A and B are shown apart, each in its own frame.
Chain A
Amino acid sequence: MSFYGLVDGTEASLKKYLGSLSGVDQVGADARAAMLSTRSIKTTSKRWAIDTAITMVDLTTLEGADTPGKVKALCTKAVRPDPTDPSVPSVGAVCVYNDMVEIARTHLDLIGGQHVGVAAVSTAFPSGRASMAVKIQDTKDAIEAGASEIDMVIDRGAFLSGQYIEVFDEIVKIREVCGSKAHLKVIFETGELVTYDNVRKASFLAMAAGADFIKTSTGKVAPAATASVVLVMLEAVRDFYAMTQVRIGVKPAGGIRNTKDAIKQLVLVNETAGPEWLKPSLFRIGASALLNDLLMQRMKIDDGYYASPQYVTID
């Protein structure tokens, strides 16, 4: 593995690489994110933004109470979010627990949703507290069951205690398991990383180790995908592109519940990483309740009056 020539896989080289990163100006990042959040997107641009956001949604159900029936219903919604309006695009992927992957893949194929991927949360999600053997097996299971995207969590305990090489090796091993069969998204759980410096460090570590996507959170910890954290990660992928000419994707997840939040994310992407990132292969939004609000806003634009949640599904 070449790791883009940035590190050679040894602890010394990784420390040197991470040590070379500049710190994040916390006040500046918060101010910039807050400023971008005030942008107002209207009419045709809003319509475009809503449809683009729908194609970027990773429609998610990660509950202990998930049933095969619920997962199938979610898949149906993923393919045709609004059954009364065929012009609504399909979402990017469905995101489920490992044991639901096969059910989701089979059902999607059955209903003509071959173009919708299945993302599996892996490596002892959401805590990441298991042995490496278990994490590898977890990932293998998901890929065999048909997952095309793996959302792995990092070992935050190791990261926070400075054991960067452990985190790095973990990502490298899961990357090997994924091979060419599955995209790898690396979840940091930014709510537990505490500082923006850590978020930036984790981003560069994961990108060098072979992540295709970097993802903010599991959705189980608050705060999750705040505008500032997403800004820091978008700056990381932009800088990484400048270093390597490789574009890494970003996936905010957790706390993005309405259209306004989603459009703020798109503004952040456009203004930080650039318009090249405004597509589902490089930007995803992990969400469940968001899709209904996007659909209701879409109805509002088409009909000219406010929509009711009674006309979208109960998830």
Chain B
Amino acid sequence: MSNRIDVKKTYKLFINGAFPRTESGRTYEVKNAKGVFIANPCLASRKDLKDAVVAARAAQHGWNKATTYNKGQILYRLAEMLEGRRAQFVDEIVTVTGVSKAKAEKEVTDSVDRLVWYAGWTDKISSLSGALNPVAGPYYNFTIPESMGVIAAIAPETPSLLGLIDSIAPIIVGGNTVVVLASTKAPLSAMSFAEVIATSDVPAGVINILTGKKDEITPWMASHMDIDGLDISGLGAKKHSDVKTSGSENLKRIYSFKSADPGRILAFMENKTVWHPIGL
């Protein structure tokens, strides 16, 4: 048998647990380091962002109410699924970025390990940051971190897979839902990661992934009144002040991170303090 027709993958968006094309019908070209054409992913529009935020908002209450144990299991499941498809991710990273196979393998290994690490934090983060506060009265006074709501994130250009996982996982660990804009130059592993999410019992709408141009989507993320926080780790430092200005209308929490640490989880959580009378 010869002359078999290539079956090429169509890279689409991931919104509300489904894989729609962008409503705008636009695509853009992804090329490898040598300028060879690789794929036509969707060029998401502001309306795709709007749809993703609606889905994320609808999913937030349910995800927040899921037990920390359940959240941890689901994040661990993501790691399991990613491990099982390791070869595909290595291949995609090599194809797009042109790095060595060993380097790509290391990125995938780190990504799996990072997911396992975040999975462990789901039921521990409140003990890390929560407190029993000393007060002058017959009360217990607790402070516990709670989810903030819908968080948007701009993933870094590189590393495309590990960076995406650092943009998604810390946000959902705390009970938030997320809308993430993937790496523009290397979106393939992000869209394949969406397939991992779709097979990992993550409720629809908890994670939404867009591909497109940062300059087009970021201002709409910053000004959207129904986005409570924004992770701009993937955005150039020069653009930070513009984003922070337009994000001030609804007092969005806007942060940029350089590493993965528990602070990254707590950044998108809000402390709630409860007074409880001590029974005599």
Q: Which residues of A contact B (CB under 8 A)?
A: 304-311
Contact = CB atoms under 8 A, between A and B. Distances in A.
Contacts of A308: 224-226, 250
Q: Which one of A304, A305, A306, A308 has the highest number of Cβ atoms from chain B below 10 Å of its Cβ?
A: A306
Contacts of A306: 50, 53, 220, 223-226
Interface string B26-53: 0000000000000000000000001001
Contacts of B226: 306-310
B12 interface: no
Nearest to A311: B225
Contacts of B53: 306
11 contacts: A305-B223, A305-B249, A306-B220, A306-B224, A306-B225, A306-B226, A308-B226, A308-B250, A309-B57, A310-B226, A311-B225
A307 B53 CA distance: 11
Closest 10 CB pairs of A and B: A305-B223, A308-B226, A308-B225, A306-B224, A307-B225, A306-B50, A306-B225, A305-B224, A305-B225, A306-B226
Nearest to A258: B54
A305 B220 contact: yes
Nearest to B250: A308
Contacts of B225: 305-308, 310-311
A304 B250 contact: no
Contacts of B246: 305
Nearest to B224: A306
Interface string B193-234: 000000000000000000000000000100111100000000
A50 to B, nearest CB: 16
A189 B274 CA distance: 50
Given A306-B223, A309-B57, A311-B225, 17 more contacts: A304-B223, A305-B220, A305-B224, A305-B225, A305-B249, A306-B50, A306-B53, A306-B220, A306-B224, A306-B225, A306-B226, A307-B225, A307-B226, A308-B224, A308-B225, A308-B226, A310-B226
Contacts of A310: 225-226
Nearest to B246: A305
A305 B224 CA distance: 6
A263 to B, nearest CB: 15
A307 B227 CA distance: 10
Contacts of A311: 225
Contacts of B249: 305
Nearest to A299: B225
A305 B220 CA distance: 7
Contacts of B57: 309
A308 B53 CA distance: 10
